[in-house]
């Protein structure tokens, strides 16, 4: 007898394998998360235990001020950190950093050394803690390290605590070139956070003299898809490009909205619990989990934290999610658009500013004074986003995220801000009641009364505008356009820098007016009014997905840029350079390097997609189509044998049509692939990366869709039993 198993194709074997899976048993370390939360983090508690008072104080000081720790103290900290790490089972240490790739980087070294008498011992000193020189010449650097010294350094960031993963002590670090230029996300992020701190404190001083530090806060909602690993392995496109480059829509997908917030499937639930436990041990405060809109799409969100820490934690979390998924025979898909036709994944950046006195600056308060402060920060955010929309967009644009932006499911490529009716009408009133001349005492009182009436909890904002890329949600802004794979330092660098510059401008403008004898409050009103008028174009409360908005935005003069080469140019605009240089966050050279890294990354991703699609079309799809076509041909031949001429035409007509149709699709696919390969060859000969990206964007990328169209049509014709790739219905609905 024939072995039935052997007859099955890769896809059906995968489906079969997947159906046998059971949820992994999960045991919690304790019923109380607080018992093990942060157990693998060298946080303040552990520092107190493992460090001398002196060393502890110096770490805390440098955490708070961003200053360097002196060598002697660093030795002490290193020794304490090592003792703690060894007690958690660590044998190695690594500097952990965020190069300009999608992920994080680490290179492990053992604590263990041999002394001159050949005796082994464990050591970790201040020098190794503070600085390393990884041979990291292969990280993207946008030309920075070609022109100068080839060396790069990592340097300890005490503001993000060290942690142990497996047997390795990980020390968060910045990554810079020998010349001091940044080669990572963290360096400019820390600078941007410092700038926004300074600028915010100055503004807060108008309202409360006790404020001497302002931190940027960030809560990241991470969306993701899960797929069984057997199905995953049967899809070369998912493995290599992170998304499906072909696949006909499933008859049912998300149209019934029956997945969103639905009961979580058992295998998935076990996975969620497992990675949450691991995240909690690492001090990542995951709190929320639920099913998302698309089938097999999910979300988790932590409690917000200080922005640098939140970004580190999100990078760590993405890593952890991928690792734990394997234990559950899943693969986690973080790509922004793994499946055409169903919702993609984003990473909402919930952002605010908080003072050392415990005030959330984007949350209304109890008094008119607190609320004027609140309105001040709201209006300055509006103005910052308005003036820097293009570079904000560039900071989140990628080959993955572009499938979301402007597609009718996620925020459009037009930057706009949603405020909700309460705040919006408040701003309208300020605009009406204030003028550049002296305000009447009545107007002033009325306005203050109005401002005093802003409720502490903005109920109407629970009615969220899900179509806005940048929405006020009652006590924070939610930058919703960010993609699910993005290192959120990228948008946070831009947003906080823009905000810093804006707030500094605000203080300057207010001080100018008060210098000529106008009262402070009135000066604030006048400046706010001017900003409200200047940034009005960006305020939009309606449906961001609608065609009317596209037209309206155009009339308002808002940019709607959707092609990569134009989007990324925002990094090079003189306005951008001025912004970043004035805030000492990034130099012109560093911006150019970031621009280059981003366009190279984009180009390479399209290149990979194009190659993978070609391989799959030639090696999987066309052979399958021919196989099925041969079955039809055999069938037609048989019919010819048994039927008369007239009967035959009637019986075999549709089959002959199918044979022709298959031939047509095959020919077009082949021809287009040849064309696409030629285009690639042409593009790759171009020396300049900003030229290459144009070919990839305008010539090659559209061909991916054209080829896909024909493949997806073949999927509809060909016998299900021999189709080699897991279908959308299988990838979206099985677990
Ligand atoms: P929703 O889906 O309603 O937006 P989630 O609970 O999924 O709500 O996510 C909200 C995120 O916003 C959480 O990470 C939460 O901690 C965060 N958040 C709340 N307040 C602030 C704040 N002041 N600053 C930054 N993030 C905040
Ligand atoms: Mg949200």
Least confident of 334-343, 445-454, 723-732: 445-454
Domain match, 403 and 538 both: yes
Binding site membership of 302 for ligand 1 (Cβ less than 6 Å):
yes
Contacts of 574 (CB under 8 A, 6+ apart): none
Q: Judge contact between 539 and 419, C-beta under 8 A.
A: yes
Q: Judge contact between 430 and 528, C-beta under 8 A.
A: yes
- The tokens for 471 are 């929405």
Q: How many helices (H) and strands (E) does the chain have?
A: 28, 17
Which of 527, 562, 586 is the last residue in one of the domains?
586
pLDDT of the residue at 2: 40
Domain match, 333 and 353 both: no
Binding site membership of 304 for ligand 1 (Cβ less than 6 Å):
yes
pLDDT of the residue at 701: 97
Q: For 373-384, what is the mean pLDDT?
A: 97
Q: What is the DSSP letter of 572?
A: G
pLDDT, tens digit (0-9, with 9 covering 90-100), for 111-132: 988 988 888 888 899 889 988 8
Least confident of 164-178, 302-316, 379-393: 164-178
| pLDDT of 293 above 90 | no
Centroid of ligand 1 to alpha carbon of 314 (angstroms): 14
Centroid of ligand 2 to alpha carbon of 388 (angstroms): 23
pLDDT grade for 463, boundaries at 50, 70 and 90: low
Binding site membership of 476 for ligand 1 (Cβ less than 6 Å):
yes
Binding site membership of 301 for ligand 1 (Cβ less than 6 Å):
yes
Q: Does any domain span residue 626?
A: yes
| pLDDT of 640 above 70 | yes
pLDDT of the residue at 440: 81
Q: Does any domain span residue 317?
A: yes
Domain match, 379 and 422 both: yes
Rg of the chain over all Cα atoms, to the nearest angstrom: 29
Domain match, 215 and 299 both: no
Binding site membership of 346 for ligand 1 (Cβ less than 6 Å):
no
Dist. CA 531–CA 260, nearest whole Å: 39
Q: For 478-496, what is the mean pLDDT?
A: 96
Residue from 99, 121, 97, 96 nearest 110 by CA: 121
Count other C-beta atoms under 10 Å from residue 703's C-beta.
19
Which of 286, 318, 345 is the last residue in one of the domains?
345
Task: Determine the atom of ligand 1 nearest the C-alpha atom of 304.
Answer: 16
For the chain, how many structural domains are there in total? 4
Between 285 and 405, name the one with better pLDDT: 285
pLDDT grade for 4, boundaries at 50, 70 and 90: very low
Q: Does any domain span residue 4?
A: no
Q: For 222-233, what is the mean pLDDT?
A: 96
Binding site membership of 286 for ligand 1 (Cβ less than 6 Å):
no
pLDDT grade for 466, boundaries at 50, 70 and 90: confident
- The tokens for 282 are 């690492």
Centroid of ligand 2 to alpha carbon of 221 (angstroms): 7
Q: For 44-67, what is the mean pLDDT?
A: 90
Between 368 and 306, name the one with better pLDDT: 306
CA distances from 376 to 203, 452, 528, 646 (A): 9, 14, 7, 84
Contacts of 102 (CB under 8 A, 6+ apart): 485, 487
Domain match, 424 and 514 both: yes
Strand, helix or coil for residue 345: coil
Centroid of ligand 2 to alpha carbon of 477 (angstroms): 9
Dist. CA 376–CA 369, nearest whole Å: 11
| pLDDT of 281 above 60 | yes
Q: For 427-452, what is the mean pLDDT?
A: 83
pLDDT, tens digit (0-9, with 9 covering 90-100), for 232-267: 999 999 999 999 999 999 887 777 777 777 788 899
Ligand nearest to the CA of 261: 1
Q: For 639-647, what is the mean pLDDT?
A: 89
Binding site membership of 726 for ligand 1 (Cβ less than 6 Å):
no
Predicted structure pTM score = 0.95
Domain match, 533 and 613 both: no
Q: Does any domain span residue 17?
A: no
Residue nearest to atom 5 of ligand 1 (CA): 301
Q: Please report, for the domain that includes residue 277, its CATH number.
A: 3.30.590.10
Note the Cα 413 to chain centre separation in Å.
Answer: 16
Residue nearest to atom 17 of ligand 1 (CA): 219
Strand, helix or coil for residue 685: helix
Give the highest mean pLDDT range of 4-13, 363-372, 679-688: 679-688
Domain match, 531 and 572 both: yes
**730: part of which helix (H) or strand (E)?**
helix 728-733
Question: Average pLDDT over the chain, rounded to whole?
Answer: 91
Residue from 595, 696, 689, 578 nearest 141 by CA: 595
Ligand nearest to the CA of 488: 1
Contacts of 83 (CB under 8 A, 6+ apart): 50
Q: Does any domain span residue 594?
A: no
Binding site membership of 221 for ligand 1 (Cβ less than 6 Å):
yes
Dist. CA 562–CA 571, nearest whole Å: 15
Mutate to test the pocket of ligand 1, among 196, 284, 304 (most ligand atoms within 8 A of CB): 304
Task: Determine the atom of ligand 1 nearest the C-alpha atom of 299.
Answer: 7
Binding site membership of 449 for ligand 1 (Cβ less than 6 Å):
no
- The tokens for 651 are 């019986």
Centroid of ligand 1 to alpha carbon of 303 (angstroms): 7
Q: Which domain holds residue 243?
A: 222-345
| pLDDT of 503 above 70 | yes
Residue from 205, 583, 218 nearest 376 by CA: 205
Contacts of 519 (CB under 8 A, 6+ apart): none
What is the bridge-based pairing of β-strands 470-472 and 417-418?
parallel
Domain match, 57 and 141 both: yes
Binding site membership of 475 for ligand 1 (Cβ less than 6 Å):
yes
Q: Does any domain span residue 20?
A: no
pLDDT of the residue at 461: 52
pLDDT of the residue at 444: 81
Q: For 205-211, what is the mean pLDDT?
A: 96
Domain match, 394 and 380 both: yes
Between 146 and 555, name the one with better pLDDT: 555
Residue nearest to atom 11 of ligand 1 (CA): 219
Contacts of 69 (CB under 8 A, 6+ apart): 58, 59, 62, 77, 126, 130, 158
pLDDT of the residue at 1: 38
- The tokens for 432 are 């009406």
Q: Does any domain span residue 226?
A: yes
Ligand nearest to the CA of 476: 1
Dist. CA 517–CA 272, nearest whole Å: 61
Binding site membership of 377 for ligand 1 (Cβ less than 6 Å):
no
pLDDT of the residue at 416: 94
Residue nearest to atom 13 of ligand 1 (CA): 219
pLDDT, tens digit (0-9, with 9 covering 90-100), for 421-436: 889 999 999 998 887 7
Binding site membership of 471 for ligand 1 (Cβ less than 6 Å):
no
Q: Please report, for the domain that includes residue 139, its CATH number.
A: 3.10.20.70
Q: Write down the residue that tokens 């580190």 correspond to.
A: 312
pLDDT grade for 518, boundaries at 50, 70 and 90: confident
Task: Determine the atom of ligand 1 nearest the C-alpha atom of 220.
Answer: 14
Centroid of ligand 1 to alpha carbon of 351 (angstroms): 8
Q: Please report, for the domain that includes residue 659, its CATH number.
A: 1.20.120.1560
Between 725 and 454, name the one with better pLDDT: 725
Residue from 204, 504, 192 nearest 357 by CA: 204
Task: Determine the atom of ligand 1 nearest the C-alpha atom of 350.
Answer: 26
Domain match, 326 and 427 both: no
Binding site membership of 285 for ligand 1 (Cβ less than 6 Å):
no
Task: Determine the atom of ligand 1 nearest the C-alpha atom of 363.
Answer: 23
Q: Does any domain span residue 213?
A: yes
pLDDT grade for 384, boundaries at 50, 70 and 90: very high
Binding site membership of 164 for ligand 1 (Cβ less than 6 Å):
no
Instruction: For residue 182, list its beta bridge partners.
Output: 176
pLDDT of the residue at 3: 46
pLDDT of the residue at 150: 61
223 exposed, middle or buried (CB, 10 Å; 0-12, 13-18, 19+)? buried
Domain match, 164 and 45 both: yes
Dist. CA 99–CA 184, nearest whole Å: 4
| pLDDT of 148 above 60 | no
What is the secondary structure of 363-428 as a DSSP string? S--SSHHHHHHHHHHHHHHHHHHHHTHHHHHHHH--TTGGGTTTSTTS--SS--EE--HHHHHHHH
Between 149 and 263, name the one with better pLDDT: 263
Q: Judge contact between 184 and 336, C-beta under 8 A.
A: no
Domain match, 452 and 539 both: yes
| pLDDT of 172 above 90 | yes
């Amino acid at each position: 007898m024939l072995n039935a198993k052997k007859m099955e194709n890769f896809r059906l074997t995968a489906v079969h394998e997947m159906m046998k899976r059971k949820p992994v048993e999960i045991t919690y370390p304790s019923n109380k998360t607080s018992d093990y939360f942060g157990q693998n983090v060298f946080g303040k508690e552990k520092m107190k235990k493992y460090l001398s008072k002196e060393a502890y104080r110096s770490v805390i000081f440098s955490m708070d001020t961003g200053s360097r720790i002196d060598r002697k103290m660093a030795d002490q900290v290193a020794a304490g950190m090592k003792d703690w790490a060894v007690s958690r089972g660590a044998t190695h240490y690594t500097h952990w950093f965020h190069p300009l790739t999608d992920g994080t980087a680490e290179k492990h070294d053992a604590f263990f050394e041999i002394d001159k008498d050949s005796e082994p011992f464990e050591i970790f000193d201040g020098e190794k803690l503070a600085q390393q020189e990884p041979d990291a010449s292969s990280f993207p650097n946008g030309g920075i390290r070609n022109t100068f010294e080839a060396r790069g350094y990592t340097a300890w960031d005490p503001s993000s605590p060290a942690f142990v993963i497996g047997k390795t002590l990980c020390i968060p670090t910045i990554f810079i070139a020998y010349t001091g230029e940044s080669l990572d996300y963290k360096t400019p992020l820390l600078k941007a956070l410092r700038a926004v701190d300074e600028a915010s404190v100055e503004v807060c001083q108008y309202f409360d003299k006790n404020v001497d530090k302002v931190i940027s806060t960030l809560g990241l909602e991470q969306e993701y898809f899960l797929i069984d690993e057997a199905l995953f392995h049967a899809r070369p496109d998912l493995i290599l490009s992170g998304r499906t480059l072909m696949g006909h829509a499933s008859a049912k997908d998300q149209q019934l909205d029956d997945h969103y917030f639905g009961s979580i499937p058992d295998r998935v639930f076990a996975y969620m619990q497992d990675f949450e436990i691991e995240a909690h041990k690492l001090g990542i405060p995951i709190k929320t989990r639920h099913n998302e809109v698309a089938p097999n799409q999910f979300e988790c969100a932590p409690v917000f934290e200080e922005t640098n820490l939140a970004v580190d934690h999100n990078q760590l979390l993405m890593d952890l999610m991928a690792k734990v998924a394997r234990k559950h025979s899943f693969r986690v898909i973080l790509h922004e658009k793994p499946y055409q036709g169903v919702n993609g994944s984003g990473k909402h950046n919930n952002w605010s500013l908080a003072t050392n006195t415990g005030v959330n600056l984007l949350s209304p308060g109890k008094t008119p004074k607190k609320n004027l402060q609140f309105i001040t920060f709201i209006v300055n955010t509006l103005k910052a986003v308005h003036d820097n929309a293009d570079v904000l967009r560039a900071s989140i644009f990628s080959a993955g995220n572009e499938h979301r932006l402007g597609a009718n499911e996620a925020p459009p490529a037009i930057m706009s801000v949603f405020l909700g009716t309460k705040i919006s009408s408040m701003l309208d009133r300020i605009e009406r009641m204030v003028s550049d001349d002296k305000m009447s005492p009545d107007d002033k009182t009325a306005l203050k009364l109005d401002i005093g009436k802003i409720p502490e909890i903005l109920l109407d904002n629970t009615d969220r505008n899900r179509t806005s890329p940048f929405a006020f949600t009652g006590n924070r802004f939610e930058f919703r356009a960010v993609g699910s794979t993005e290192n959120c330092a990228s948008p946070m660098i831009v947003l906080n820098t823009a905000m810093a510059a804006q707030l500094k401008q605000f203080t300057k403008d207010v001080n100018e007016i008060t210098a000529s004898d106008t009262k402070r409050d009135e000066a604030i009103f006048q400046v706010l009014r001017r900003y409200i008028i200047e940034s009005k174009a960006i305020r939009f409360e309606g449906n961001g997905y609608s065609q009317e908005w596209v037209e309206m935005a155009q009339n308002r003069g808002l940019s709607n840029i959707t092609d990569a080469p134009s989007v990324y140019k925002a990094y090079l605009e003189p306005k951008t350079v001025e912004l970043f240089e004035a805030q000492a966050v990034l130099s012109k050279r560093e911006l150019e390097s970031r621009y280059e890294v981003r366009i190279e990354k984009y180009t390479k991703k399209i290149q990979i997609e194009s190659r993978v699609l070609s391989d799959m079309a030639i090696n999987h799809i066309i052979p399958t189509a021919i196989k099925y076509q041969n079955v039809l041909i055999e069938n037609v031949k048989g019919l010819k044998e048994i039927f008369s001429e007239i009967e035959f035409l009637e019986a075999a007509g549709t089959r002959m049509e199918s044979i022709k149709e298959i031939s047509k699709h095959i020919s077009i696919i082949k021809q287009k692939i040849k064309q696409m390969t030629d285009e690639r060859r042409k593009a790759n000969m171009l020396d300049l990366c900003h030229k290459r990206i144009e070919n990839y964007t305008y010539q090659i990328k559209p061909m991916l869709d054209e080829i896909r169209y024909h493949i997806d049509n073949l999927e509809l014709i060909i016998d299900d039993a021999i189709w080699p790739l897991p279908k959308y219905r299988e990838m979206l609905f099985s677990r």
